């Protein structure tokens, strides 16, 4: 599966093609790749708009749009899963959903004064005024707690970290069960404000091998319904056409019958 991650930082999987969130950069990245189906992966609205514009310029026949509203380190784990060889681009959503079901994300932030989700308590707001304060945020459970010297990240198959240029706590890497497999942006951190705090440290851990996720997706591929427009198999909606997939026309084994055809450019953008 060919993947162009728009706005992805340094450190994502080496098989992922990165592009800046500008139309020129995305179009140039696409034109450098083989003429085949590919996925434009985004996680913020600016990049999503650029991906839509690129599909308007180049046509929708080979461009799938996969937008995930997830934290940066979790997105990096998903991107690694998407690069698995032999997977069709139409399966990108199923791969992402399966990977995310095994991802655990936590962050240490210096303040929660501007944090909206999960919402901190009034006491935590007041505690943010202290210059040495730090809080642990668990987006999956929707909890915020005072940092007490541990992060509680499970020892997973893959650990991805990202951090602000200034450390939120001393020796944050010592909070991990083992050294990070991926350090987005490198040890000097990211200038992008991933959290509404001047200092932060984010980590995502994958608690299952990526190979098991890919096996799960591949085993159900032949049962997926077909898109009415392009004929590609899609579990719910087609990432190429942005239309819901109809019920599968099944053959003796439940596979999608009929050849895959390529329509004229269609821009029913999500």
- Domain boundaries defined on the chain: 2-95, 103-207
pLDDT band, residue 269 (cuts 50/70/90): very low
For residue 108, is pLDDT > 90? yes
Average confidence (pLDDT) over 126-136: 83
Give the pLDDT score at 38: 94
Does domain 103-207 fall under CATH 3.40.1710? My reply is: no
Backbone dihedral angles phi then psi of residue 204, each to the nearest 5 degrees: -125, 140
Three-class secondary structure assignment of the chain: CEEEEECCCCCCCCCCEEECCCHHHHHHHHHCCCCCCEEEEECCHHHHHHHHHHHHHHCCCCEEEEECCCCHHHHHHHHHHHCCCCCCHHHHHHHHHHHHCCEEEEEEECCCCCCCCCCCCHHHHHHCCCCCCCEEEECCCCEEEECCCCCCCCCCCEEEEEECCCCCCCCHHHHCCCCCCEEECCCCCCCCCCCCCCCEEEEEEECCCHHHHHHHHHHHHHHCCECCCCCCECCCECCCCCCECCCCCECCCCCECCCCCCCCCCCCCC
Give the pLDDT score at 245: 67
Average pLDDT, the chain: 86
Give the pLDDT score at 263: 36
Average confidence (pLDDT) over 188-199: 91
pTM of the entire predicted model: 0.86
In tens, the pLDDT along 133-189 reads 899 999 999 999 999 999 988 888 899 999 999 999 999 999 999 999 999 998 889
For residue 266, is pLDDT > 50? no
- Match 């915020």 to its residue by tokens: 144
CA nearest neighbour of 121 among 143, 138, 106: 143
CA nearest neighbour of 240 among 94, 95, 90, 26: 90
């Amino acid at each position: 599966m060919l993947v162009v991650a728009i706005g992805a930082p340094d450190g994502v999987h080496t098989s992922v093609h990165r592009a800046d969130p500008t139309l020129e950069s995305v179009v140039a990245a696409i034109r450098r790749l083989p003429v085949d189906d590919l996925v434009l992966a985004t996680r913020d609205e600016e990049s999503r708009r650029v991906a839509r514009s690129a599909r308007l310029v180049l046509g929708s026949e080979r461009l799938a749009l996969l937008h995930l509203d997830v934290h940066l380190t979790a997105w990096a784990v998903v991107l690694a899963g998407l690069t698995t060889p032999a997977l069709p681009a139409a399966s990108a959503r199923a791969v992402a959903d399966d990977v995310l079901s095994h991802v655990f994300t936590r962050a240490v932030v210096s303040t929660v004064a501007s944090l909206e989700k999960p919402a901190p308590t009034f006491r935590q707001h007041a505690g943010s005024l202290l210059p040495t304060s730090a809080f642990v945020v668990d987006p999956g459970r929707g909890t915020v707690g005072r940092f007490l010297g541990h992060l509680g990240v499970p020892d997973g198959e893959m650990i991805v970290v990202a951090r602000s240029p200034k450390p939120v706590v001393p020796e944050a890497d010592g909070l991990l069960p083992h050294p990070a497999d991926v350090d987005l942006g490198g040890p000097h951190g990211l200038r992008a404000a991933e959290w509404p705090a001047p200092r932060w440290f984010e980590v995502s851990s994958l608690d299952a091998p990526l190979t098991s996720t890919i096996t799960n997706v591949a085993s159900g591929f032949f049962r997926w319904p077909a898109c009415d427009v392009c004929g590609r198999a899609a579990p719910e909606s087609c990432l190429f056409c942005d239309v819901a997939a109809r019920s599968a026309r099944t053959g003796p084994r439940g596979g999608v019958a009929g050849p895959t055809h390529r329509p004229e450019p269609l821009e029913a953008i999500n």
